[in-house]
Structure formats: structure tokens, C-alpha cells
């Protein structure tokens, strides 16, 4: 599943934000949301299957963390978009500078 589709869900996005702070157990994550435990489990499964999150088992607990390599898709997209906007603003700035130095045409 594409990273953007995974992050489009508000609950999954909030889970990613929590995991960006630090690793968390499945129980800690579930406690942060007003949805059922099975619903949170489904969100965690989507994050695991997409590669956005990983987990390790410690006794009876699953400890989740982010997989930063998988989020590089978002970084690449954002960087490309930023470069496009910088080029547009540079072109606009040049146009405004050229317009400002042009003599006014009279009647």
C-alpha cells in the first residue's frame, strides 16, 4: 500500500506522530484513542503491512516503532514539490523585478 494512502487515515497519522516521539507498546497506543482495541489493532496491522511501522515482541507486549526508510517516499515527494514552488517564486520574482525596471509607457 502506498504510504500516502496509509497516512490518509487520521487515526493512523496520529499513531505515526506518536511513534515519531518514541517507541510505544500496542496498549499505550490503544489507550490514546476513543476507538475499540480491535480498531486500533487493524490500524497497526495496516502500518506494519505497509512497512511504515515495525514491532518487536517482548514477553506479552508488542513494542512498535517507525520505519524511517518507508517514510522517505513522503520526504521525496515533499522535496520535489518544494523545488517546484521555489522555481515558480523565483520566476515570479524575476518577472516583478523586470516589470519594476521597465519605463512606464505614456499615452
Give the per-residue pLDDT at 92.
87
SS3 call for 81: helix
CATH fold for the domain made of 3-66? Arc Repressor Mutant, subunit A (1.10.10)
User: So where are the chain's domains?
Assistant: 3-66, 71-107
Q: List average pLDDT for each run of 10 residues in the chain, which is 107 residues long.
A: 85 95 95 92 95 94 92 77 84 85 73
Give the per-residue pLDDT at 40.
94
SS3 call for 107: coil
Q: How many CB atoms lie within 10 A of CB 19?
A: 19
Amino acid at each position: 500500500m502506498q504510504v500516502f494512502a496509509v497516512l490518509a487515515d487520521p487515526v493512523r497519522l496520529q499513531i505515526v506522530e506518536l511513534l515519531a516521539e518514541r517507541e510505544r507498546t500496542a496498549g499505550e497506543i490503544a489507550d490514546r484513542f476513543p476507538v475499540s482495541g480491535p480498531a486500533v489493532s487493524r490500524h497497526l496491522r495496516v502500518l506494519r503491512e505497509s512497512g511504515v511501522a515495525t514491532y518487536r515482541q517482548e514477553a506479552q507486549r508488542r513494542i512498535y516503532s517507525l520505519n524511517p526508510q518507508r517514510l522517505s517516499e513522503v520526504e521525496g515527494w515533499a522535496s520535489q514539490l518544494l523545488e517546484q514552488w521555489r522555481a515558480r517564486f523565483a520566476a515570479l520574482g524575476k518577472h516583478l523585478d523586470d516589470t519594476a525596471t521597465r519605463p512606464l509607457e505614456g499615452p
